[in-house]
Chains A and B, each alone.
Chain A
Amino acid sequence: MTDTFPRARTAIAGLATFGIGETPGYSSMELTAQAALLAVADAGLTLADVDALFICQPDDFFAGLSFAEYLGLQPRYTDNNRTGGSAFMSHMAVAAMMLEAGYIDCALIAYGSNQRSNGGKLATKITNNQWDAPYAPIFPLTGYALAAARHMHEYGTTREDLAAVALAARAWAQTNPEAFAKGPLTLEECLSARMISTPISVRDCCLVTDGAAAIVMTRTSRARDLAKPAVPLLGAAAATWWNSIAQAKDVTVTAARESGARAMAMAGVSPSDIRTAQLYDAFTINTILFLEDLGFCPKGEGGRFVSSGAIAPGGSLPVNTNGGGLSCCHPGMYGLFAVIEAARQIRGEAANQLSGVDVALAHGNGGTLSSQATVVLGSLATL
């Protein structure tokens, strides 16, 4: 079946982040609400304009209800979808369809977590299934380690290649005032870092930060008259191939291959048209797998691609230009932050602003490389 999608008919009209890094004293609800208020104001709208809520909180399985109550929203539609860190790209796909259909007029998509200030551990109630649990893999880290180990075995990817991802992320973070992890990071430090679950060391893991993000989506016809440049959504696709990593047919290939191809087909672009990619880098291996699966380099070449400097400042494909989950922020689910960085690049407002960004891709990942969702954003020039 061929996808149908209302290419560029809907757009991001407002966006905001709040409390990235450490925000002691704030609850997850408060962080998220602040980001939401800022995003609505950024669009030049008011809360009364919001008639649909899409939210996925780390610790509140009824977030759609409690968050609506907190802000006094009475959404005509509430979506509490949980596909891990990819949930927000899926929210965008649904919001676009509903906006196009006239079912809703203005969607708020929000996320926030105080997981760093509130204990400093990944805030999730999700864990291994009953078949994997007796062997005690660290959830979700070991799932990624199993994929990385096989990628190394099959394609000769090295720990230096993994480190190149962390180093590129840090290089971008250095010049992003919002990024949490700055300061020098060397290849030697990456290679000598404490090993957690081979071949994933502490330097291969994303940050544990606080932070919130929100976007407002409406029809492009309306967004272009609002306060900020509209960022049209050209394509959005999700794909789920498994939950447990043990059920992957090939742990070196993720459903990003499908979600990316479908989103790009909807958008009418190919990888070479994409000026910058924001990839959900929960672990260094993610970036390598997604670069391959999204078609930015051939399968198996991701390690050599990143080691060539391609994704770092000055490279041919700027990736995670905010510093990513590895050095900017990772409050449990990173997806919406990737979307916002892509949108900021198109609006010309990114901390590390690139020249001529008309098409940007944001890719989300959930579970243990389980759920994949891709969005392609464009400028009004791409309409």
Chain B
Amino acid sequence: MSPETHWRTALAEGRLLLQRAPDGSAVFPPRLAAPGSGGPLEWFEASGRGRVYTLSWINRKPPAEPYHVALIDLDEGARLMSRVEGVTPETLAIGMRVEAFVDHDGDAPLLLFRPVEEA
């Protein structure tokens, strides 16, 4: 099974997988070999917890509501693009603590985040 297929299969089961390079760094998106070294990669299950690194609200023609995209820094070190559910332009902020969940409402399982209290 290809790395991408393996990752998507796990996501469909509600699990967020990352890979770990020989130097200990977390790797996302999934791939065949460690970026930079070409070394072997090991799968592990991420905690799903992270922090908003940066964000942008995208405006649409009213009455459509604005939506946003955010880059999330996972606690394990990888960064990915996603969206934080249940927030407004007033409440979503860089630095906010978030946790991952898998949304099954669309055509394909989708990785999303929701705010959590600062630990």
Residues of A within 8 A of B (CB): 131-132, 134-138, 142, 145-147, 149-150, 153, 194-200, 244-247, 251
Let me know if B10 is at the binding interface, CB within 8 A: no
CA distance A246 to B81 in the complex (A): 6
Q: Which residues of B contact A137 (CB under 8 A)?
A: 56, 58, 69, 81
**How far is it, in angstroms, between the C-alpha of A194 and the C-alpha of B89 when the chains are bound?**
16
**Which chain B residues in 61-118 approach chain A with CB under 8 Å?**
67, 69, 71, 79-83, 89, 94-95, 106, 108, 110
| 12 residue pairs bridging A and B, Cβ less than 8 Å apart | A131-B81, A134-B110, A135-B81, A136-B69, A138-B58, A149-B56, A196-B59, A198-B55, A198-B56, A199-B56, A200-B56, A245-B71
Is B47's beta carbon under 8 Å from chain A? no
Tell me if B80 and A197 are in contact (CB < 8 A): no
For A154, the closest partner residue in chain B by CB is B94
Contact in complex: A136, B67 (CB < 8 Å): yes
Residues of chain B touching chain A, judged by Cβ–Cβ distance below 8 Å, are 29, 53-59, 67, 69, 71, 79-83, 89, 94-95, 106, 108, 110
Bound: A245/B53 CA distance, A:
12
* Contact, CB under 8 Å: A135 / B82: yes
- Closest 9 A/B residue pairs (Cβ): A150-B54, A145-B56, A246-B81, A198-B57, A135-B69, A132-B81, A153-B94, A137-B69, A146-B54
**Cβ contacts under 8 Å, B89 to chain A:** 198
Q: A200 — which chain B residues lie within 8 A by C-beta?
A: 56
B110 to chain A, nearest CB (A): 6
B55 touches which one: A146, A195, A246 (CB < 8 A)? Answer: A146
User: What are the residues of chain B within 8 A of A197 when measuring CB–CB?
Assistant: 56-59
A195 CA to B57 CA, complexed, in Å: 9
Cross-chain contact B94 with A150 (CB below 8 angstroms): yes
Question: In the bound complex, how far is the Cα of B56 from the Cα of A132, in angstroms?
Answer: 13
CB neighbours of A194 from chain B (8 A)? 59
Q: Which residue, B57, B58, B67, B95, has most C-beta atoms of chain A within 10 A?
A: B58
Q: Across the interface, name the chain A residue whose C-beta is closest to B109.
A: A134
**Smallest CB separation, B9 vs chain A (Å):** 15
User: Please, how many angstroms separate the alpha-carbon atoms of A137 and B81 in the complex?
Assistant: 9
**Chain A residue at minimal CB-CB distance from B68:** A198
Which residue of B71, B89, B95 has the most chain A CB atoms within 10 A of its CB atom? Answer: B71
Q: How far is the CA of A194 from the CA of B61 in the complex (A)?
A: 11
Are B71 and A251 touching (Cβ within 8 A)?
Answer: yes
Chain B, Cβ-Cβ closest to A201? B59
Q: A142-B58, A149-B54, A196-B59 are in contact. Are A131 and B29 (CB under 8 A)?
A: yes
B80 closest partner in A (C-beta): A246
A-side contacts of B58, CB under 8 Å: 136-138, 142, 196-198
Report the minimal beta-carbon distance from B3 to chain A, rounded to whole angstroms: 12
Task: For A134, list chain B residues within 8 Å (CB).
Answer: 106, 108, 110
Docked pose: A198 CA to B88 CA in angstroms: 13
Q: Which residues of A contact B108 (CB under 8 A)?
A: 134
Are B29 and A146 within 8 A (Cβ)?
Answer: no
Residues of A within 8 A of B55 (CB): 146, 149, 198
Q: In the complex, given contacts A138-B58, A146-B69, what are 13 additional A-B residue pairs having Cβ atoms less than 8 angstroms apart?
A: A131-B29, A135-B81, A135-B82, A146-B71, A149-B54, A153-B95, A195-B59, A198-B57, A198-B89, A244-B81, A246-B79, A246-B80, A247-B79
Q: A150 to B53, Cβ gap below 8 A?
A: yes
Contacts of A199 in B (CB 8 A): 56
CB distance from A40 to the nearest CB of B (A): 43
Question: In the complex, what residue of chain A is closest to B83 when comparing beta carbons?
Answer: A135
Chain A positions within 8 Å of B69 at CB level: 132, 135-137, 142, 146
Query: Of residues B53, B56, B58, which shows the largest number of chain A Cβ atoms within 10 Å of its Cβ?
Result: B56
When distances are taken between beta carbons in the complex, the residues of chain B under 8 Å from A251 are 53-54, 71
Kindly state the separation between the CA atoms of A246 and B71 in the bound complex, as whole angstroms: 6
